[in-house]
Amino acid sequence: MDTSSAPLPWALLPDNASVGGDGQLLIGGCDTLELAAEFGTPLFVYDEDHLRARCREAVAAFGPGVSYATKAFLCRAMARLAFEEGMSLDVSTGGEYHVARATGVPPERLVLHGNNKSVEELRVALGEGVGRVVVDSFDEMARIEQLVAGGLAPPRVLIRITPGVEAHTHEFVRTGQDDSKFGFPVYSGDADRALARAATSPAMELVGIHAHIGSQVFEAQFFELAVDAVAGFVNAHGLPELSLGGGLGVAYVEGETAPTITDWAAAIHRACEANGITARVTAEPGRAITAAAAVTLYTVGTIKDLPGIRTYVAVDGGMSDNPRPVLYGSGYETFLPRAVQAPRLKLVTVVGKHCESGDRLVVDGRVPEDLQVGDLLATPVTGAYGHSMGSNYNKVLRPAVVFVRDGDARVVVRRETLDDLLRLDVLDPQGSE
């Protein structure tokens, strides 16, 4: 059946999406048209109960050691939500660590990642008693040993290895292959040497192995291959913990499917059992928690029809609030929230307002034929790596973020103002008063 003009696939919307009396999209009982009128556009709208349900699913699937990968989406409200639902938090920079701690998340519930942790980042984390450090290089080991020699307590560490598994995903988000900036490669013997050094160093308490094969992985078999690759290390060293990182894909466009968090965990546990792994197995889901929980609302400002070529629909955001299409060629669907179930007969390319020809949010997307300037236009599945990877390119203001639940909406990240763009500027002496 030809689905090219069909309404938006409902599975791409948040759990608590519904249709209002006038055919408009409701999320968490809130009318998206009213949200746009009240909070402005662009606007990230998150279904709070969707987020909570995915956190609870992760804890049920992996146990209390499972960590939310904050790089997917982080603000204080999100950090608090994940912590309240029983997750630890995976942070990969001093900034992410600071936001989590400012929210009140205890340091022992944080896992510090990163391929180039600075001395200062390590000093703060070790000084506060961070729960785990995922060690990524010999240079980092030297920094930890220096800090412990200076009086800080030895941290519990996992050694991140690259198992030589090349996941079928975009080259920029593959991390498990031999040619990677992350971890200690198995093929060169560095993984063995790192484990030996951590096991004998008085500056580290070696508790486990970490392996992450990439992001937006749709096939559970690749995670099983990762388990096969690291099983020998884990079993040989008798280590109590094994983290398979994150990377579970989500469906962004019609026709895509992905395992649930429960399915993903089941595949990993089966592979561990088959390999005789008795270590506690954990993971770090991020995208799978947040991506489908949100939609982004835009206002259409310009419609430019180029006969025989394409129709450009320009909105008031762009690559500054969703750089994934530019970075990875990522696909998205588009629809009109005022008529969420309407057939989408008109083929368009949705573009942003930035001074870049590549500023395309949706190439060959579909919308109803009555699209007009001033309409509210939305892209679903934007809850991960939109806000978190956003920028102020062209000095475009960063959007607000609202959480909706039971008919109530609350701002968790306010919209930037023009004055915010000047907050960090320092005038030179000639320009100062």
Spatial CB neighbours of 427, under 8 Å, sequence gap ≥ 6: none
Structure tokens at 82: 């994940």
What is the Cα 414 distance to its own chain's centre?
20
Beta bridge partners of 66: none
**Phi and psi at residue 89, in whole multiples of 5°?**
-125, 130
C-beta atoms surrounding 173 within 10 Å: 15
Instruction: Look at residue 405 and give its three-state secondary structure.
Output: strand
Taking the C-alpha atoms of residue 331 and residue 81, their distance in angstroms, rounded to an integer, is 28
C-beta atoms surrounding 221 within 10 Å: 12
Q: Is 355 among the catalytic positions? A: yes
Point out the catalytic residue in the list 30, 55, 75, 355.
Answer: 355
- Cβ atoms of 165 and 204 closer than 8 Å: no
Taking the C-alpha atoms of residue 131 and residue 33, their distance in angstroms, rounded to an integer, is 43
C-beta atoms surrounding 98 within 10 Å: 13
Catalytically active residues, by annotation: 355
